[in-house]
């Protein structure tokens, strides 16, 4: 393995300053699960890794906003989300999804921001968060911008993020009793990466479906909305035929 610099900034702004928008060999590291695999495979030979382990703790917090939305710091560990009482009570779709997301070793170190920024299509969280209408706050040298999770990935391992931008927060609207499910097909164990994943969130109007959000992942290069399926569900009864 070629030698590289390992930087340990103490703030998000310091971390951003250590990144270079023109240099793909300088990378931020949250949990490091994806980076280490890429380095072991020889597809990434970094000149500098910028660790996010020691930045302000506010970027690892889980809280409820004034409108009942879930606010998740970009450096929040997946295991922290999995065991959060607020998430279990208010966002059961997230809690259920996390139980079979990779394995406990990965969930203990992987961060939500890193999970989304990596843009591997074989992930569980992007389609689930997209179906829930979640957004990300992206922080860079010019400040912050917000965009839907659904618009983050542009293709295989590609996102709209500049190389000197970081996901600092993920905001998830209240699930508020909306029926929701995530189903995935794996080749072996239930916690394996999905070969196909489908997330569905329904807004009910009485006994009928008002709006439906149906997002497929893994079988496509990025989370993809199934607009025809949503149209079929809209206004329908949630019966066996539908």
CATH number at residue 207: 3.30.390.50
Rounded CA separation 134/128 (Å): 9
Q: CA torsion sign, 163 to 169 to 173 to 177?
A: positive
pLDDT in tens, 49-95: 999 999 999 999 999 999 999 999 999 999 999 999 999 999 999 99
- 64 versus 32: which is more confidently predicted? 64
pLDDT in tens, 158-202: 999 999 999 999 999 999 989 999 999 998 877 788 999 999 999
Average pLDDT over residues 196-210: 97
For tokens 């391992």, name the residue: 157
- Residue range 192-216: average pLDDT? 95
Domain span including residue 213: 180-233
- pLDDT at residue 154 tops 70: yes
Considering the domain boundaries, does residue 189 fall inside one?
yes
221 found inside a domain: yes
Structure confidence at residue 238 (pLDDT):
92
Contacts of 157 (CB under 8 A, 6+ apart): 118, 119, 120
Residue 187: predicted pLDDT: 85
Is residue 127 in some structural domain? no
Read off the pTM. Answer: 0.94
Indicate whether 197 belongs to any domain.
Answer: yes
CA atoms within 13 Å, Cβ hemisphere of 191:
10
Give a yes or no: residue 228 inside a domain.
yes
Q: What is the pLDDT of residues 9-28, one digit of tens each?
A: 999 999 999 999 999 999 99
């Amino acid at each position: 393995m070629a030698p590289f610099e390992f930087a340990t900034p103490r703030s998000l702004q310091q971390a951003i300053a250590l990144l270079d928008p023109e240099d793909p060999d300088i990378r931020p590291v949250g949990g490091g699960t994806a980076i280490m695999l890429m380095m072991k495979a020889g597809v990434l030979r970094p000149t500098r890794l910028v660790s996010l382990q020691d930045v302000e703790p506010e970027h690892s917090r889980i809280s409820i906003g004034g409108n009942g939305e879930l606010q998740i710091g970009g450096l929040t560990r997946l295991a922290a989300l999995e065991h959060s009482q607020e998430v279990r009570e208010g966002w059961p779709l997230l809690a259920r999804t996390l139980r079979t997301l990779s394995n406990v070793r990965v969930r203990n170190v992987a961060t939500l921001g890193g999970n989304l920024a990596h843009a591997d299509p074989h992930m569980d969280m992007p389609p689930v968060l997209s179906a829930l209408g979640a957004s990300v706050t992206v922080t860079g040298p010019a400040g912050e911008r917000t965009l839907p999770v659904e618009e983050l990935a542009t293709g295989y391992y590609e996102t709209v993020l500049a190389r000197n931008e970081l996901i600092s927060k993920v905001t998830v609207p209240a699930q508020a009793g909306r029926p929701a499910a995530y189903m995935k097909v794996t080749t072996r164990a239930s916690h394996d990466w999905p070969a196909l994943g489908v997330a569905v969130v329904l807004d009910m109007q009485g006994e009928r479906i008002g709006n439906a959000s149906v997002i497929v992942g893994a079988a496509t290069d990025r989370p993809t909305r199934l607009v025809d399926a949503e149209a079929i569900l809209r206004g329908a009864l949630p019966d066996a035929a539908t």
